A and B are shown apart, each in its own frame.
Chain A
């Protein structure tokens, strides 16, 4: 695991991508790489007296390799913290603790790869697709959201060569109508056990993906989002229930193998 840096970065872009979605680009005074897709950062705004804790965000895009000093984040305005981020203009300073957590592990040779993203779950999966696009094995991306306007990375995804994309929206405005996990059923026998799934999205979706993978003995990695305070495994706030007890999402995750997770009735581990 790479060691994290705590740096004062500068916002170089804060681009609106549909009414509630933004892409934040941060330039850092020094490289923090290497970064693995699936890793995250804690972002905080100095001198802000109202929101005190930093907020965790998946690193969506970055300069490659050890030289990574430019980080991109996707966020949806859902509360006070993200509302504050929305208003930040270019040139504004921002504190960055990164990279944090473990990234998505590689897939064994010869495995077919399924990506399953729900809504903002696209954020960590998009850099993973870019990393794996040259894979000689089939790549299939299932992308689901509430509505067409919530498929925020679809244009970028369509630009990636060599992947099959299947879309689902709950209101039917794009692709199949319904939840994305329903579409998985049509695909079940193509790969069998020799399939790796990478998934990120709402937890009921991840639970459905975990069940799907378990039934077919597929290797399945999921990214679990949690409220957290420190980001480095000290405060023990962000725990996920696993078969071996509580594990910190920040340090032992946020990527977990789905078979290790103990789900509750409301599909939260």
Chain B
């Protein structure tokens, strides 16, 4: 049996596979369909200080090789998350990574502080890159100065490991990742869904209620791979690769590009057992090639 263990900063994972925030609810939605204890970690739907209603429907559209979403970070809010959602996850032995966001830097810090007081939270993933909200979110994640500023504040607000989730839609991904690393982020997640839109020609209207949305799925995998590879050449902190991973081979490509772990998003919708199949697939791949430790694969790209 090859060793699949990886580390994201202080966080130890039994394997590198976890869901992408927003595609796996709060875990309970999938608990009857897959064994959550097999995952490397569970990443919850993004939580904010106050509950968010989200964007008007339609919120989804399949496009060629992918899907657009305009959910708008609908969530139950921190209070309800702590009382109604998080306790269910206590029964599982895998680390719980809570994704969160705010509309101001102070709000990000307050959410981080309050989440760290909760039992059973292993790490925090700050969403600095949602394409679907007008204020906050993506605006903090596009410049290295604001990423540095917010990371610094978050690291001061919590004792937990901070993971910064970033967008590929930036002029210099290396600089931004370096900014997060420089201020104490223990990992970066690359990439969020990509700002995109679809048009209904007959009605001459946008297909999504939120007009624009985020593109995910196989269509964005090459963009995500390149972002991960670039970031891996710049920073020493681990990178969590995400974008269009559909099977174990996709996941391994991200590891070869330099990701320490991967997140699976859209594929969960197509086949709810995808993540377990990916873990088994990685295990079999390494076994067949006589590779004893997954760390041998990480960053093994030959140029």
Say if the beta carbon of A166 comes within 8 Å of chain B. no
Contact of A227 among B23, B24, B61 (CB under 8 A): B61
* Complex interface bits, A31-63 against B, C-beta within 8 A gives 1, otherwise 0: 000000000000010000111111000000000
Say if the beta carbon of B62 comes within 8 Å of chain A. yes
CA distance A50 to B71 in the complex (A): 23
Contact of B30 among A5, A234, A241, A251 (CB under 8 A): A234
Contact of B25 among A50, A53, A234, A268 (CB under 8 A): A234
B33 near A53 with CB under 8 A, answer no
Say if the beta carbon of B202 comes within 8 Å of chain A. no
A53 near B69 with CB under 8 A, answer no
B271 near A95 with CB under 8 A, answer yes
B54 near A44 with CB under 8 A, answer no
* Complex interface bits, A222-233 against B, C-beta within 8 A gives 1, otherwise 0: 000011111011
Measured between beta carbons, the chain B residues less than 8 angstroms from A50 are 64
Say if the beta carbon of B270 comes within 8 Å of chain A. yes
Count how many chain B residues have C-beta atoms less than 8 Å from C-beta atoms of the other chain: 34
Say if the beta carbon of B65 comes within 8 Å of chain A. yes
Say if the beta carbon of A239 comes within 8 Å of chain B. yes
Say if the beta carbon of B92 comes within 8 Å of chain A. no
B60 near A227 with CB under 8 A, answer yes
B272 near A237 with CB under 8 A, answer no
The secondary-structure label for the interface of chain A is loop
A52 near B270 with CB under 8 A, answer yes
A235 near B217 with CB under 8 A, answer no
Measured between beta carbons, the chain B residues less than 8 angstroms from A5 are 33
Contact of B71 among A3, A237, A240 (CB under 8 A): A237
Q: Which of B59, B60, B269: most chain A Cβ within 10 A?
A: B269
A54 near B22 with CB under 8 A, answer no
Measured between beta carbons, the chain A residues less than 8 angstroms from B22 are 235-236
Measured between beta carbons, the chain A residues less than 8 angstroms from B24 are 234
B128 to chain A, nearest CB (A): 21
CA distance A128 to B179 in the complex (A): 60
* Complex interface bits, B197-239 against A, C-beta within 8 A gives 1, otherwise 0: 0000000000000000000011000000000000000000000
Q: Known: A52-B67, A232-B29. Is A237-B59 also a contact (CB below 8 A)?
A: yes
Say if the beta carbon of A192 comes within 8 Å of chain B. no
Interface residues of B (CB under 8 A from A): 22-25, 29-30, 32-33, 45, 53-54, 56-62, 64-67, 69, 71, 74, 217-218, 266, 268-273
